[in-house]
């Protein structure tokens, strides 16, 4: 029988959720997400169309996000979705797994738990936007949202500027103490304020809710603010006033998602802005766009969440696990 010598591959590495947490920190996630956003803007990396379906069982939404990063040689998909009954079984409602393939041979290279990685890659996204777009002298961090993801966004954002305090509002105020505890842990004073006061006081604002109507109005935002809108990842969701996008200079991870499922969907469909008004943040990362032009400019990042982010952090986890001596399995 002919020997299959198409690849020197040692086998498949399996990286558990616990190992992902041990192996991929905020710095690694930031670097991986920043690099892949840059590759996307150079057309070296692209996301394939997203599949998301109600499967008619367990009320679940299931799908795939996939893509190829030719610069980083990362090919694969994240498969998973949302199972609303999981909480009662002691499981997280969001469940996902990343599959990585060898782009030279198509062989499966790695199976990587995707739950923690989704949280850390999403936090890295707003964090990359703050690093590239927020004023250097930003001192007050505003949070709209206080769920699972908000805690990750807060920790990652706090590392990007010399913030002196956090102001936060959430539609469900009972969720705020958990976020306050995170702020306290990282040494930042925390004030629960009105949404209007988040706008009046914050230099950087992250929105990370499941809202379907605007929570933050355009005229509440002071000049010079940077806003990272992270919650809107589906048609119909909305966190900020569409007029805010017309007032701001708008950046995104991926234009196609921004105008269809991201925060910009509303401003675009209302005719307040067009595709041409939205810049991929990768262009700023690559030095092809200046980013912020003045101290008074409002910058807004529409972080819709792309499959390539998942693949980028999963690749970091798989490489780290392999060099850590993780056992390899064969199909
Ligand atoms: P979560 O369920 O833990 O928290 C939900 C948050 O939204 C809370 O702040 C809650 O008070 C608020 N909320 C719930 N229902 C609301 C409503 N009807 N109107 C306004 N606010 C409401 O969820 P999470 O894991 O923190 O995720 C928050 C959002 O971020 C979700 O919309 C999720 O789809 C999105 N998300 C985006 C990305 C991305 O890459 N952009 C990645 C992960 C999650």
* pLDDT band (50, 70, 90) for residue 9: low
How close is the Cα of 88 to the center of ligand 1, in Å?
A: 19
Tokens 């008619």 correspond to what residue? 56
User: Where would I find the H helices in 42-166?
Assistant: 115-133, 148-158
Nearest protein Cα to ligand 1, atom 20? 211
Residue 199 lies in a domain: yes
Residue 331 near residue 171 (C-beta atoms within 8 A): no
Same domain, 76 and 143: no
- Residue 209 beta carbon below 6 angstroms from any ligand 1 atom: yes
45-54 per-position pLDDT tens digit = 999 999 999 9
> With the C-alpha atoms ordered 299, 118, 185, 21, is the resulting torsion angle positive or negative?
negative
* Nearest Cα to Cα of residue 121 among 328, 313, 315: 313
Same domain? For 287 and 203 the reply is yes
pLDDT in tens, 218-240: 999 999 999 999 999 999 999 99
Residues 24 and 110 in one domain: yes
Residue 58 lies in a domain: yes
CA angle, 133 as apex, 209 and 251 as ends, to 5°? 65
Asked whether the predicted pLDDT for residue 41 surpasses 50, the reply is yes
- Indicate the number of domains in the chain: 2
In a domain, 171, yes or no: yes
The answer for residues whose C-beta is within 8 angstroms of residue 87's C-beta and 6 or more apart is: 93
Specify whether 103 is located in the same domain as 143.
no
Within-domain flag for 54: yes
**Annotation marks residue 78 as catalytic:** yes
Q: Are residues 180 and 274 in the same domain?
A: yes
Indicate whether 271 and 139 sit together in one domain.
yes
Q: Do 62 and 196 share a structural domain?
A: no
Distance CA 295, CA 285 (A): 19
Residues 266 and 173 in one domain: yes
**C-alpha closest to that of 24 among 86, 104, 92, 112:** 112
**For the stretch 71-85, what's the b/e string if a residue is b when 16 or more beta carbons lie within 10 angstroms of its beta carbon?**
ebebbbbbbbbbbee
Question: Is residue 4 pLDDT above 90, yes or no?
Answer: no
Query: How much distance in Å is there from the Cα of 145 to the middle of ligand 1?
Result: 7
Instruction: Please indicate, yes or no, if residue 175 is contained in any of the structural domains.
Output: yes
171 lines ligand 1 (CB under 6 A): yes
Q: Is the pLDDT of residue 6 over 50?
A: no
Out of 8-12, 33-37, 163-167, least confident range: 8-12
Q: What is the ipTM of this complex?
A: 0.99
Work out the average pLDDT over 66-92. Answer: 96
Residue 44 lies in domain: 12-118+308-329
Band of pLDDT at residue 2, cut at 50, 70 and 90: very low
pTM for this structure?
A: 0.96
Pairwise CA distance, residues 192 & 171, whole Å: 12
pLDDT per position as a tens digit, 103-158: 999 999 999 999 999 999 999 999 999 999 999 999 999 999 999 999 999 999 99
Are residues 188 and 95 part of one domain? no
Pairing of strands 328-329, 12-15: antiparallel
pLDDT at 294: 97
Residues 300 and 154 in one domain: yes
Q: Does the residue 106 lie in any domain?
A: yes
Q: Residue 216 maps to which CATH number?
A: 3.40.50.720
Per the domain annotation, does 201 fall within a domain? Answer: yes
Which burial class, exposed, middle or buried, applies to 294 when counting CB atoms under 10 A from its CB (0-12, 13-18, 19+)? Answer: exposed
Same domain, 281 and 320: no
Q: Is residue 187 in a domain? A: yes
Q: How confident is the model at residue 331 (pLDDT cuts 50, 70, 90)?
A: confident
């Amino acid at each position: 029988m002919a020997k299959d010598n198409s690849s020197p591959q040692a086998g498949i590495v399996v990286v558990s959720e616990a190992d992902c947490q041990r192996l991929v920190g905020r710095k690694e996630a930031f670097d991986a997400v920043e690099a892949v956003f840059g590759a996307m803007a150079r057309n070296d990396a692209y996301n394939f169309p997203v599949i998301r379906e109600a499967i008619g069982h367990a009320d679940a939404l299931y799908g795939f996000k996939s893509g190829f990063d030719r610069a980083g040689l990362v090919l694969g998909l994240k498969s998973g979705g949302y199972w609303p009954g999981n909480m009662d079984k002691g499981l997280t409602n969001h469940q996902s797994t990343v599959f990585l393939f060898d782009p030279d041979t198509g062989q499966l290279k790695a199976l990587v738990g995707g739950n923690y990685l989704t949280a850390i890659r999403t936090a890295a996204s707003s964090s990359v936007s703050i690093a590239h777009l927020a004023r250097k002298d930003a001192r007050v961090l505003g949070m709209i949202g206080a769920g699972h993801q908000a805690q990750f966004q807060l920790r990652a954002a706090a590392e990007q500027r010399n913030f002196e305090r956090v102001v936060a509002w959430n539609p469900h105020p009972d969720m705020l103490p958990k976020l306050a505890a995170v702020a306290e842990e990282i040494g930042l004073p925390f004030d629960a304020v009105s949404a209007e006061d988040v706008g009046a006081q914050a230099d950087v604002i992250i929105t990370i809710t499941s809202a379907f109507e605007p929570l933050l109005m355009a005229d509440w935002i002071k000049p010079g603010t940077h806003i990272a809108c992270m919650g809107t990842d589906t048609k119909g969701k909305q966190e900020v006033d569409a007029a805010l996008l017309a007032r701001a200079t708008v950046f995104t991870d991926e234009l196609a998602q921004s105008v269809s499922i991201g925060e910009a969907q509303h401003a675009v469909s209302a005719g307040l802005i067009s595709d041409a008004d939205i810049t991929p943040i990768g262009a700023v990362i690559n030095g092809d766009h200046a980013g912020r032009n003045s101290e008074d400019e409002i910058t807004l990042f529409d972080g819709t969440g792309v499959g390539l982010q998942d693949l980028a952090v999963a690749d970091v986890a798989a490489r780290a696990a392999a060099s850590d001596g993780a056992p390899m399995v064969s199909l």
